Structure 1
Amino acid sequence: MASPAYQEPVMKVVGSVQSYMESSTDYVRLHVFKTLMRLLTSFAKSSSVGVLVVLGLMFLSVGGSLALGEWLESYPLAFTLTGVFYFLAGIVAYLLRSRIDRWVLESFSDMYWNK
């Protein structure tokens, strides 16, 4: 058994290590919470803005198609042209998907790693 002279400093060191571990654990939990909340609020804001943009785009598409239909004197042709436009936009987005992925990863990694 260790002598009492060594026992007290060892117990102080053990106490200090335990205190350090508890404060480090609390810091990590706080950091993870902060990061998750930033990501969640960013997702909520992006989702709400995205929904509103999609609704606006939908109404603009219908209005534009109706106006184009009057101009072309053919509503089916106007709606078909609008559909072709969105189809081509989808193809362009598909071709640029790696750039979009890179942009999203860079945005979220900056948010995660920068406090």
Structure 2
Amino acid sequence: MALDELKSGLTESETAVKEYVDSTAEYLKLKTFRFAMKVITHSIKGMVFGLIVFIALIFLSIALAFILNSMWESETMGYVAVGLMYIVVGIIVYLMRSRIDSSILKSFSKYYFDD
């Protein structure tokens, strides 16, 4: 009699553990899917926005080079100055890469862990 009660108790515990594991697995799948969709949608929006800004930056750079060319009465110095400006910006971004990486990590961590 005690053995039958113990068997039924173990069977109920086993069923409860299986249900818990299944529900936890489903929760993790949903959480992973939600995170992946947030990353994908933010990436797509970022790429579209970045493309628009990039095109605008190209036109503004060409306009600035023309202005500098006419100010300095040179056909090339404006382009050289704009190119050097981008090299300086590139060096600054390279030197700040660890700060940029940590801010990106914090941003994506917020989306994954703040649910």
Length-normalised TM-score, structure 2: 0.88
Q: Which residue is 1:40 aligned to?
A: 40
Q: Is the 8 A contact 1:69 1:76 kept in 2?
A: yes
Q: Which residue is 2:69 aligned to?
A: 69
State, as a whole percentage, how many aligned pairs show the same letter. Answer: 31
Q: Is 1:78 aligned to residue 83 of structure 2?
A: no
Q: Distance in 1 between matches of 2:106 and 2:5?
A: 56
Task: Identify the range of structure 1 (97-106 vs 78-87) with the bigger mean alpha-carbon deviation.
Answer: 97-106
Structure 2 residues without counterparts, runs of 5 or longer: none
Length-normalised TM-score, structure 1: 0.88
SS where residue 75 of structure 1 aligns?
Answer: coil
Deviation at 1:3, TM superposition (A): 4.1
Deviation at 1:65, TM superposition (A): 0.9
Matches within 5 A, 1:43-54: 43-54=43-54
Q: Which residue is 2:60 aligned to?
A: 60
Structure 1 residues without counterparts, runs of 5 or longer: none
Q: Is 1:108 aligned to residue 108 of structure 2?
A: yes
Q: Is the 8 A contact 1:35 1:112 kept in 2?
A: yes
Q: Distance in 1 between matches of 2:97 and 2:28?
A: 34
Q: Is 1:91 aligned to residue 80 of structure 2?
A: no
Q: Which residue is 1:10 aligned to?
A: 10
Question: Which letter does structure 1 place at the counterpart of 2:82?
Answer: T
Deviation at 1:95, TM superposition (A): 1.6
The alignment covers a number of residue pairs equal to 114
Q: Which residue is 1:24 aligned to?
A: 24
Runs of 4+ in 1 over 6 A off after TM superposition: none
CA RMSD of aligned residues (A): 1.6
